[in-house]
Amino acid sequence: MLRIRQQERWAELYQRALFEDDSSQLQAKVKEAKQAIRQRARELWQADSAGHGIDLRERHELETALYFLNLLQSIGTQRRAT
């Protein structure tokens, strides 16, 4: 049950960042989502180190989410510069 809530948390924050249409809020939403993703990745790493099975699908989803958040952040930075 806790695992599901932790997975839902990072996914919810990720979606909020992706669909944020207020450019003044975008960077904060991206930062918050990235922190939640990194936290979840640490939890998965610790679970794997403790000998518990890990969810490779979720690990892949985390990597993909970070990629797109970095891309979104980069686009936002470029727009502010122009």
DSSP structure class, residue 54: -
- The domain limits of the chain are 2-81
What is the overall mean pLDDT for the chain?
86
Q: pTM of the full predicted structure?
A: 0.81
- Taking only the tens place, the pLDDT of each residue in 28-66 is 999 999 999 999 999 888 877 666 666 788 899 999 999
Write phi, then psi, for 39 (nearest 5 degrees). -60, -45
pLDDT at 81: 64
Q: Where are the alpha helices (DSSP H) in the chain?
A: 2-18, 23-49, 56-81
**Looking at residues 13-42, what average pLDDT do you find?**
94
Burial 6-41 (b: 16+ CB within 10 A, else e): bbeebbebbeebeebeeeeebbebbeebbebbeebb
